[in-house]
Chains A and B, each alone.
Chain A
Amino acid sequence: MEPVIEAVHLSKAFGPKVVLSDVNFSVQEGESLAVMGGSGSGKTVLLRTIMGLLTPDSGHVAVEGNVIQALDRQTLFEVRKKIGMCFQMAALFDSMSVEENIGFALTRHTDMSKAEIAERVDECLTLVGLRNCQKLRPAELSGGMKRRVGFARAIALKPQILLFDEPTTGLDPVMTDVIGRVILDLKHQLGVTTITITHDLKSAFEIADRIALLFRGEIIACQPPAEFKANPNPVIQQFLRGDAEGPFLTDPPPPKRSTNSVSHQALVP
């Protein structure tokens, strides 16, 4: 079966800094892949390359057999209509209300009437667990609400692929769980193929069929959660432990001090 998304020998550098050196993976229809990796390891660059927002230095990304970098703009837009992208900070249009944000693509790309659009907006908001906030402005929403409105905007055109860029970063643990559930709901109700970029181990293990770890520009493992957990690679084990000591960091971490040995009284002159 032909994969829905395929990255082949992808590399991307910004000046002297090589972000992706040789990335290869494929995602099958209906599958969810979680891509993990350290801060600045190029996870977002990977997602932006899939969307065609960045051009790789070599290699390519193919979505449903279309090589993104080889498409003309019109065909690229046609492919993008099949992909919903959820940005890290939601990237809602701040001059528009929630309703206008979600209905944006519908207004531009479909012949739907205003009533039909309003109905679809309501449907999308229900899917992400937010109702009756159509008239609010993005500035009036909390971080978690913004992300969910971003999800609703991404699913409005009923895409077959959803890309999530760090959907839980900067949210409290409870809201992180809510977002994780929303992603699972979307996956089950819409049957979409998803790629989720995340730092959060708990949500990655919950939502993913396979987990990939991006390390120094390459994907060093891409396995189902149970196998990933059991992978003996010291980098993966260090990442799972969340420990500063190990091969994960290029620069040595600062020494660990025992909190017991620091007395507040001793610091007060």
Chain B
Amino acid sequence: MLTHLFDRLGTRVLKAFSEAGDFAVLSGRTFIAVFKRPFDSANLMRQFLAVGVNSIPVITLTSLAISMVFAVQLSYGFRQFQAEGLASQVQGLAIVRELAPVITGLMMAGRVGSAMAAELGTMQVTEQIDALECLATDPIHYLFVPRLLAAMVMLPLLTGFSVYVGFWGGYALLVGVTGQSASVYSSEFYKLLAFRDVRIALTKALVFGVIIALVGCWRGYRTRGGAEGVGNAPTSSVVTSSLWILISDFFLTKLLLV
């Protein structure tokens, strides 16, 4: 009974290490392949469109919703001890430091990471990735690199966009509904913020972009077993990358705020 338990535990630990090793090797190969020729600009542009431009509606909606709900909570909370004026300052701080990068990261893990896993997974089970190999094309260079670059560029841009939308979400609620002065809100929003906060937000977004692209591509590339495998790839990609976004968010915050 006990040996059986250890046996199963050992198998799981070994599997986890082998997966981590595989992910590390593929990630390393991707970063090396970034500098290889030929540079496929058309492919990169397609990824910029898929990762960045096409994600604007979903980022707008989620950022607006989260910022408005957060403003409601803040104005209610601060009203308890007659400090409504602080709501806009905390709104700015929360959106720039945490909400914009994390919400963008999680939404993109769901929208873009899963799409990458599904696309590469389908290509894997229909032998299209083998066909790439046979046409003397490195799948890592052709498939991983443009997705990684697109995510690394677009996640920070979308995070910036999310901050902008968050500002107006808070504005609509705090100025439009609770009756705060527009000029006070606009100046207070940035009051507690320093350039460092913007840098932290963009660094987080960059790291989240790397996680989303690499995990999505890796899960897709390692898809086995037909329709079921293709079905599992996006799910496990979203779960894995969301988890790593949250874990890395904690450590990045701890490290960068020091």
Contacts and interface: CB of A to CB of B under 8 A. Distances in A.
Interface in A58-97: 73, 77-78, 80-81, 83, 85, 87-89, 91-94
B38 A93 contact: no
A93 B131 contact: yes
B133 A81 contact: no
Contacts of A153: 131, 135
Contacts of B123: 93
B131 A91 contact: yes
Contacts of B131: 85, 87, 91-93, 153
Contacts of B130: 48, 51, 53, 87, 91
B215 to A, nearest CB: 21
Chain B interface residue bracket vs A: 10 to 19
Most chain A beta-carbon neighbours within 10 Å: one of B38, B131, B135: B135
Contact of A77 (B40, B127, B128, B138): B138
A89 B130 CA distance: 12
B138 A73 contact: yes
B133 A80 contact: yes
B136 A89 contact: no
B258 interface: no
A104 B128 CA distance: 13
Interface string A99-111: 0000011001100
A154 B135 CA distance: 8
B137 interface: yes
Interface residues of A, number: 25
Interface in A168-197: none
B136 A91 contact: no
Interface string A34-68: 00000000000000100111000000000000000
Interface string B119-148: 000010011101101111110000000000
A51 B131 CA distance: 10
Nearest to B133: A53
Given A87-B131, A93-B131, A77 B126 contact: no
24 contacts: A51-B133, A52-B133, A53-B130, A53-B133, A53-B134, A77-B136, A77-B137, A77-B138, A78-B136, A80-B135, A81-B136, A87-B127, A87-B131, A88-B127, A89-B126, A91-B127, A91-B130, A93-B131, A94-B128, A105-B137, A108-B136, A108-B137, A109-B136, A157-B135
Interface of B: 38, 40, 123, 126-128, 130-131, 133-138
Interface of A: 48, 51-53, 73, 77-78, 80-81, 83, 85, 87-89, 91-94, 104-105, 108-109, 153-154, 157
